[in-house]
């Protein structure tokens, strides 16, 4: 309880700081306001994750729909296609090493590159990535293996697998025919429910219920401030 209250206080402090900076400048997206907004988002994320951990062990209904959502995502495999590429910005950039993202409100999974290789390497690409995804659909994967290639180094498609414990594995199954060496995979998209609208809709309904429980917990905490 004490830890949650401290996290809530931190979020409220960051929220007030963002409001003050944005109000003083009159421009909500200037540099200082952007930094304050990022701090506020991170503080809220920390609070939400702590509440989720609590609900997983203390709320039977949350536990039930949490487990159900993990089962809904668990699959044999599905395709993740590269939907956007970009030029690497660093001197040694050859491939993305880390993606973050999640299942959006349309029920599809999207990842965006947040890191690339920083050391010199011969022509190669990240052939295998693994990471985690939670009951809300928030996920991240990191490169674990690379493969050297003489010509083609830009992934076009991955085979993705999600396990019941929330582990997710991505394996490159197709390379783009382009020979442009500075391009890297930037955004990925796929359907973790393999076109099952029943599974997709149930997952989204469950997530709405979980978010409702989180919001109620925040309201309870605010009364204790």
pLDDT at 180: 67
pTM over 0.75: yes
Q: Do residues 143 and 111 share a domain?
A: yes
As a whole number of Å, the CA-based R_g of the chain is 20
Kindly state whether residue 207 falls inside one of the protein's structural domains: no
Q: Do residues 133 and 159 share a domain?
A: yes
pLDDT in tens, 6-45: 999 999 999 998 888 877 655 556 677 788 889 999 999 9
Kindly state whether residue 210 falls inside one of the protein's structural domains: no
Q: Do residues 136 and 119 share a domain?
A: yes
Q: Do residues 95 and 154 share a domain?
A: yes
Q: Do residues 50 and 157 share a domain?
A: no
pLDDT-wise least confident of 39-48, 85-94, 107-116: 85-94
pLDDT in tens, 159-178: 999 999 999 999 999 998 87
How many domains, in total, are found in the chain?
2
Q: Do residues 59 and 159 share a domain?
A: no
Print the domain residue range for 31.
Answer: 2-71+216-222
pLDDT at 36: 87
Kindly state whether residue 206 falls inside one of the protein's structural domains: no
Q: Do residues 143 and 192 share a domain?
A: yes
Q: Which of 69, 106, 99, 72 is nearest to 84 (CA)?
A: 99
Check: CB of residue 114 under 8 Å from CB of residue 54. no
pLDDT at 182: 74
pLDDT in tens, 195-220: 999 999 999 999 999 999 999 999 99
Q: Do residues 28 and 85 share a domain?
A: no
Q: Do residues 53 and 153 share a domain?
A: no
Q: Do residues 81 and 190 share a domain?
A: yes
Q: Do residues 43 and 100 share a domain?
A: no
* HEC letters along 80-101: EEEEEEEECCCCCCCCEEEEEE
Can you spell out the DSSP letters for 152-207?
---EEEEEEEE-TTSEEEEEEEEE-----TTEEEEEEEE-TTTT-HHHHHHHHHHH
Q: Do residues 54 and 79 share a domain?
A: no
Element (DSSP H or E) covering residue 190 = strand 183-190
pLDDT at 2: 67
Cα–Cα distance, 92 to 86 (Å, whole number): 14
Residue 89 has pLDDT above 70, yes or no: no
């Amino acid at each position: 309880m004490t830890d949650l209250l401290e996290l809530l206080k931190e979020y409220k402090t960051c929220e007030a700081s963002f409001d003050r900076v944005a109000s003083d400048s009159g421009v909500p997206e200037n540099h200082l306001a952007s930094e304050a907004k990022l701090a506020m988002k991170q503080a809220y994320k920390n609070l939400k994750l702590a509440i989720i951990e609590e609900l997983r062990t203390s709320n039977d209904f949350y536990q039930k729909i949490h487990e159900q959502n993990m089962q809904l995502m668990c699959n044999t495999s599905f395709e993740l296609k590269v939907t956007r590429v970009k030029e690497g910005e660093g001197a040694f950039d050859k491939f993305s090493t880390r993606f973050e993202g999640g299942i959006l409100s349309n029920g599809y999974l999207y990842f965006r590159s947040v890191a690339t290789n920083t050391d010199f390497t011969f022509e190669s690409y990240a052939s295998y990535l693994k990471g985690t995804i939670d009951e809300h659909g928030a996920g991240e994967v990191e490169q674990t293996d690379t493969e050297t290639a003489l010509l083609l180094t830009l992934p076009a498609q991955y085979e993705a697998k999600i396990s019941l414990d929330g582990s997710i594995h991505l394996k490159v199954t197709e390379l783009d025919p382009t020979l442009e060496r500075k391009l890297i995979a930037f955004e990925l998209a796929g359907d973790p429910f393999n076109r099952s609208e029943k599974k997709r809709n149930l997952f989204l309904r469950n997530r709405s219920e979980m978010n409702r429980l989180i919001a109620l917990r925040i309201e309870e905490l605010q009364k204790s401030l």
